[in-house]
Amino acid sequence: MDVSKYPENGEHICFLIFAFLQADCGDLCLQRELFSLGKDLNIIGDRSADSERVHADNGGIESDGHLDSNISMCLDDILPLVDLQGDRAVAAALLDVAESLRSIADQFEDRVVNQATQNLRSRIEESLPEQWVQLLKHEVQRVINQGVGLENFPQERVIMACTFTLVKGVCRQAPRLLRNLFDAALVFVWCGT
């Protein structure tokens, strides 16, 4: 996936989508797909080199036989962290935005989201990836039109929250669709088609 065609903020949008999808992701298959995608997009911090160095020094075990006191070093390979390369302040601000999008997403009715997720999944599985942006746009509009109480939020954020929620819902059911659906969400949010 080439995000260079989305100047400047394209990287930020990728980061937002990824952070949203990664939050509270309990599905192991989806976690693996996200990890692979995050590595490819260079938005997962790779601290495994440091971890390997520490574990090579002492094998991860203290002299008393207990595990290293910094257990997070042992978990680096299974708990990847979203890490926007570069400016930490921008990364922190984007994580805050992703959190606010999750708060908006919590306002959507489960019944509406579940139906939209099923509709989107069945339609994209019968379509070419080039058509997914339009299919995603259609379902997002349908969910937003049924939303109650969403008018108090900035419309742009409601659209992003709905888009990311539907992508996450479909990818929980079919993790193999992550890359193409991630790309469709990026195009939809970036271009607003």
Confidence check: pLDDT of 79 > 50: no
What is the C-alpha separation between 79 and 25, in angstroms, rounded? 11
- What pLDDT digit, counting tens, does each position of 44-78 carry? 765 444 444 333 444 445 555 544 444 333 334 44
- What pLDDT digit, counting tens, does each position of 6-47 carry? 445 778 899 999 999 999 888 899 999 999 999 998 887 654
The whole-number average pLDDT for the span 85-106 is 85
Select the more confidently predicted residue: 189 or 79: 189
- What pLDDT digit, counting tens, does each position of 141-160 carry? 999 988 767 888 899 999 99
Q: Which CATH class is domain 3-45+80-191?
A: mainly alpha
